Structure 1
Amino acid sequence: MAELLIGGERTAAKSGEEIPVVNPANEETLESVPKAGPEDVDAAVAAAKAAFEEWSRTDADERASLMREGIARIKGEQKELARLLVQENGKPFAEAMGEISHFLHGMSYYADLASKIQGSYTELPSALGRSYGMVIKRPVGVCAAITPFNFPLTLLGTKIGPALAAGNTVVAKPAETTPLATLRVAQLMQEAGLPAGVLNVVTGGAEAGEALAGHPGVRRVAFTGSTGVGRRIMELAGPQFKRVTVELGGSDPVIICPDADVESAVRGVTIGRFFNAGQACLAAKRVYVFEEVYDQFMESLLKRVARYELGDGLEKAEKPKVRMGPMHTDRYRQQISDQLQDAVDKGAKVACGGGFPDGRGYFFEPTVVEDAPHGSRLATEEVFGPVLPVWRVSGMDEAIRLANDSPYGLGSSIWTQNVKWVHRAAQEIEAGMTWVNQLHYGYDELPFGGVKQSGIGREHGQEAIEYYVESKAVVVGGLD
């Protein structure tokens, strides 16, 4: 059985209870992990708080050096970590390797920023005597990093990277179904020299997550997950005025214009929708195609989707096939099946896919849908699986209107060479990000987050550091 990591020690949950970790490709139990409760969270927060006193005073270059030692140790085991990700999450091996590369890049980015956190200096009016002011940046304290199942390591890195660089300590709580890679990464960082208690990991379900988000010893909460759970996190953290960011669900619109490189757009949409079996908040989820190129787009799209082959992520797919793994749980698979059925009942046409293949594993065929009513669940809800609805639009006004007809606002994209249309998309689409002629991808160098029900706050970029520091004003007088 895997164990919690608290204060540098590996330990079982105080209750003695365990949670099975199931491989979604074959429905077999891989391992079990402790089911942490409030007492375990108390212990982890206490360990992080004790470690904070020394870690927050550690020289920035030394913090960066220790982070890089951990990064190197993780890089040395990336293939083993990728296999672990495949088994607990279900994604293909190549995608798991890509996730670890993204994690390593992000952690390196923040290690580089550790010594570049800047304050300011200003001359002050002399009414009370000659003086000057400074703004200094101080770490906030113990931070909670609560991550979902779909990208366990990438989303861990976006939280612990800026937290550690800024001098904070962390208690991480991975999804109860994908804790193994997170536990291993934390162990590797500690083995590389990260002081005990700086990074702690508790495993478990909602009880542990709620205890962590509401814990009085936690000053910063970073959460990625569903909108419903994000709302609950804010309810728990709000009364204590914690620093909170929540990156939540999305229903990203994609606009395909008449002058688009249609083949490039199809490739971007296909990868953007069916990567990780469609289980991504940031993904192409609603496609609006100008009628002039609709038929060409659909013909190419269906050919490309036909190349996908369902299977275990550790098995290599033969070209020209593309491997797509299972959905993470049967519950998620049933949810998108219900969303699809709702659209069909209201008149939508399934152009391909739509079924459960025979055999074990939580597989769902890659699916393309036409003519779904915009009031159907495929348009109004987040679709967290491999189902792609496509609509025909008459022009840019209709495309933007429909793109904004959603409670979500995470990502968006437009495929065109027309600078006026690019400008309209950038200015008018209600989303935290807009890509032009590119796949939806969260770059570590740019702020990442949503508007509306897709969350508040930003991760990635230099902006993320600001959520892990407090700006303190200092006045120095007595200079006469």
Structure 2
Amino acid sequence: MTQALINGERVGAKSGEEMPVVNPATGEQFDSVPKSGAEDVDAAVEAAKAAFGPWSKTDPDERAQIMRAGVAKIQENSKEIAKLLVQEQGKPMMEAMGELHHFLHGMNFYADLASKIRGSYAPLPSTFGTSYGMVIKRPIGVCAAIVPYNFPLTLMGTKVGPALAAGNTIVVKPADTTPLATLRIAELMQEAELPAGVLNVVTGPGKEVGEALVGHPDVRRVAFTGSTAVGRRVMEIAAPQFKRVSAELGGSDPVIVCPDANVENAVKGINVGRFFNAGQACLAAKRVYVFEEVYDQFMESLIKRVSRYEVGDGMEKAEKPKIRMGPLNAARHRDALQEQLDDAVKGGASVAYQGETNGGGGYFFAPAILENAPHDSRVTREETFGPLLPVFKVKSINEAIGLANDTSYGLGSSIWTYNVRYINKAAQEIESGMTWVNQLHFGYDELPFGGIKDSGIGREHGPEALESYLEAKSVAVGDLDVVEEEGSGLQ
């Protein structure tokens, strides 16, 4: 069993219970982790609370140096970590290495910002004598990070990086199915002289561990990435204690391909944006609206590229010219995707293309492309979390944007065009937290990212994310002798 990490020590659950870690490519257990409960959460939060005072007073340059030492340690063990990620999550080795690289880039980004935190100064009215004001930035305290299974490392980094740089301590709760790479990274950070209790990892079911962590009275900041339904529950639990919450939730990102677009580039971007990580991404091309002038060309090119995917174990390489696609992370995700596909076909959609699975024991789903799906079918109304892509034909930019906004979600969006009027219209009118122009959907560490509507609240990435781990405190400084001489009545 791989144990949890609390106060710098590897520990099991106080109950002694364990839960399995399963390889989604085989459906077989290959490890286990503690099935923690509320008592284990209490221990982790207590450790983080005790560590907060010393860590928050650490010189920012020293915090940055410790973070960079952790990054270097993780880099030295990158292949080991990537292998763990492939085994527990299912993605191919190349994608696992890419995710780890993104994590390391983000940690370095926030380490660089640790010493760049700035307040402000303001002269104040002279009603009570000469005075001035300052706004100082203080760390919040103990933070909670609840991380999903699809990108467990990068989505941990978007929370741990700014939290540590700002001087906070943190307790991470990884997804039930993907705890191992997270635990190894936390252990390596510890070996790089991160003080005990600053970074803790508790494993266990979301219902017990996640809710106990979010509702803990000593946790002041909650960062959650996951489904909209669970995000609502997180908000309900956190609201009575007025916790600082960010929730990056589900998405149904629209893509618009205009008549003047470079169709081949659009196809490449959409192909990667939809089928990378077997389509398991909140931030991904999930509905494509193609102008009728280029629709046939687009579909021909898209099917040609998607047909190159070969599903199989992520530890193995596909034979050229094929591209390896791993399994979905759990059987329930595969089954839900099949239900969405069946619902669309029942409503009149046609399957323009679907690949083949290997017939093995894993949770594989062959990539599929749909045409003419009803816009009220589940594949458009719900979040599609897998390699299933509906494509729609449109006649105008107004129709495309109207359909793009016809959803409860508002995470990402993109448009492929060189028409500046279309670009400006998409930027201003598409209801989403981010719009890419002639680019695939990718979360840059340098830019704030998050959603609107049912896609969440708050922002991760960018310097803006660092601000969400800081409290702004106003300080007014005056001369009391002057105030008393002027007879203000203040004692």
TM range, smaller chain = over 0.9
Q: How many Å separate the matches in 1 of 2:81 and 2:266?
A: 32
- Residue of structure 1 equivalent to 2:98: 98
1:318 Cα deviation after fit:
2.3
Contact 1:253 1:413 (C-alpha < 8 Å) held by counterparts: yes
Contact 1:357 1:364 (C-alpha < 8 Å) held by counterparts: no
Q: How many Å separate the matches in 2 of 1:239 and 1:475?
A: 30
Deviations 1:270-308 (A, max 9, x none): 111110000000000000000000000000000001100
Q: How many Å separate the matches in 2 of 1:168 and 1:162?
A: 9
- Residue of structure 2 equivalent to 1:217: 218
Deviations 1:197-253 (A, max 9, x none): 000000011210000011001000000000000000000001000000000000000
Q: How many Å separate the matches in 1 of 2:191 and 2:376?
A: 53
Q: Using the aligned pairs only, state the percent identity.
A: 71
Structure 1 moving runs of 4+ over 6 Å: none
- Residue of structure 2 equivalent to 1:294: 295
Q: How many Å separate the matches in 1 of 2:357 and 2:79?
A: 30
Deviations 1:409-431 (A, max 9, x none): 00000000000000000000000
- Residue of structure 1 equivalent to 2:108: 108
Q: How many Å separate the matches in 1 of 2:121 and 2:382?
A: 48
- The farther-off stretch of 206-215 and 316-325 is 316-325
Q: How many Å separate the matches in 1 of 2:328 and 2:255?
A: 23
- Residue of structure 2 equivalent to 1:303: 304
Q: Report the 3-state secondary structure (helix = DSSP H, G, I; strand = E; otherwise coil) of the residue aligned with 1:115.
A: coil
Are 1:129 and 2:114 an aligned pair? no
Are 1:428 and 2:426 an aligned pair? no
Q: How many Å separate the matches in 1 of 2:351 and 2:16?
A: 48
Q: How many Å separate the matches in 2 of 1:127 and 1:415?
A: 57
- Residue of structure 1 equivalent to 2:286: 285
- Superposition map of 1:239-254 within 5 A: 239-254=240-255
Q: Report the 3-state secondary structure (helix = DSSP H, G, I; strand = E; otherwise coil) of the residue aligned with 1:363.
A: coil
- Counterpart of 2:346 in structure 1: which amino acid? D
- Residue of structure 1 equivalent to 2:31: 31
Q: Over aligned residue pairs, what C-alpha RMSD do you find?
A: 0.8
- Residue of structure 1 equivalent to 2:190: 190
Q: Report the 3-state secondary structure (helix = DSSP H, G, I; strand = E; otherwise coil) of the residue aligned with 1:30.
A: strand
- Counterpart of 2:469 in structure 1: which amino acid? Y
- The farther-off stretch of 182-191 and 126-135 is 126-135
- Residue of structure 1 equivalent to 2:337: 336
- Counterpart of 1:432 in structure 2: which amino acid? G
- Counterpart of 1:93 in structure 2: which amino acid? M
Are 1:364 and 2:357 an aligned pair? no
Q: How many Å separate the matches in 1 of 2:415 and 2:18?
A: 46
- Counterpart of 2:229 in structure 1: which amino acid? G
Q: Report the 3-state secondary structure (helix = DSSP H, G, I; strand = E; otherwise coil) of the residue aligned with 1:434.
A: strand
Q: How many Å separate the matches in 2 of 1:425 and 1:205?
A: 40
Q: Report the 3-state secondary structure (helix = DSSP H, G, I; strand = E; otherwise coil) of the residue aligned with 1:438.
A: coil
Deviations 1:142-169 (A, max 9, x none): 0000000000000000000000000000
- Counterpart of 2:336 in structure 1: which amino acid? Q
Contact 2:311 2:357 (C-alpha < 8 Å) held by counterparts: no
- Residue of structure 2 equivalent to 1:402: 403
Contact 2:307 2:355 (C-alpha < 8 Å) held by counterparts: no
1:355 Cα deviation after fit:
6.5
- Counterpart of 2:5 in structure 1: which amino acid? L
Contact 2:138 2:472 (C-alpha < 8 Å) held by counterparts: yes
Q: Report the 3-state secondary structure (helix = DSSP H, G, I; strand = E; otherwise coil) of the residue aligned with 2:51.
A: helix
- Residue of structure 1 equivalent to 2:259: 258
Q: Report the 3-state secondary structure (helix = DSSP H, G, I; strand = E; otherwise coil) of the residue aligned with 2:126.
A: coil
Q: How many Å separate the matches in 2 of 1:93 and 1:415?
A: 30
Q: How many Å separate the matches in 2 of 1:448 and 1:78?
A: 26
- Residue of structure 2 equivalent to 1:119: 119
- Residue of structure 2 equivalent to 1:159: 159
- Residue of structure 2 equivalent to 1:386: 387
Contact 2:52 2:169 (C-alpha < 8 Å) held by counterparts: yes
Q: Report the 3-state secondary structure (helix = DSSP H, G, I; strand = E; otherwise coil) of the residue aligned with 2:412.
A: coil
- Residue of structure 2 equivalent to 1:327: 328
Q: How many Å separate the matches in 2 of 1:238 and 1:256?
A: 41
- Counterpart of 2:451 in structure 1: which amino acid? G
Q: How many Å separate the matches in 2 of 1:160 and 1:223?
A: 12
- Shift in CA distance, 355/347, structure 1 to aligned 2, threshold 3 Å: farther
1:319 Cα deviation after fit:
2.1
Contact 2:57 2:167 (C-alpha < 8 Å) held by counterparts: yes
- Shift in CA distance, 415/304, structure 1 to aligned 2, threshold 3 Å: same
Q: Report the 3-state secondary structure (helix = DSSP H, G, I; strand = E; otherwise coil) of the residue aligned with 1:409.
A: coil
Consecutive unaligned residues of structure 1, counting only runs of 5 or more, are none
Are 1:229 and 2:227 an aligned pair? no
Deviations 1:427-449 (A, max 9, x none): 00000000000000000000010
Contact 2:311 2:324 (C-alpha < 8 Å) held by counterparts: yes
Consecutive unaligned residues of structure 2, counting only runs of 5 or more, are 483-491
Q: How many Å separate the matches in 1 of 2:74 and 2:30?
A: 22
Q: How many Å separate the matches in 1 of 2:116 and 2:445?
A: 16
- Counterpart of 1:6 in structure 2: which amino acid? I
Report the TM-score when normalising by structure 1. Answer: 0.99
Contact 1:357 1:365 (C-alpha < 8 Å) held by counterparts: no
Q: Report the 3-state secondary structure (helix = DSSP H, G, I; strand = E; otherwise coil) of the residue aligned with 1:156.
A: helix
Computing the radius of gyration from Cα coordinates, the structure with the larger value is: 2
Q: How many Å separate the matches in 2 of 1:218 and 1:332?
A: 31
- Residue of structure 2 equivalent to 1:458: 459
1:317 Cα deviation after fit:
1.5
Q: How many Å separate the matches in 2 of 1:233 and 1:179?
A: 20
1:357 Cα deviation after fit:
4.3
Deviations 1:308-350 (A, max 9, x none): 0111111112221111000111100000100010000000000
Q: How many Å separate the matches in 2 of 1:263 and 1:179?
A: 38
Are 1:476 and 2:487 an aligned pair? no
- Residue of structure 2 equivalent to 1:181: 181
Q: How many Å separate the matches in 2 of 1:342 and 1:356?
A: 20
- Residue of structure 1 equivalent to 2:143: 143
Q: How many Å separate the matches in 1 of 2:153 and 2:167?
A: 21
Q: How many Å separate the matches in 2 of 1:449 and 1:320?
A: 36
- Counterpart of 1:90 in structure 2: which amino acid? G
Q: Report the 3-state secondary structure (helix = DSSP H, G, I; strand = E; otherwise coil) of the residue aligned with 2:115.
A: helix
- Residue of structure 1 equivalent to 2:488: none
- Residue of structure 1 equivalent to 2:86: 86
Contact 2:410 2:433 (C-alpha < 8 Å) held by counterparts: yes
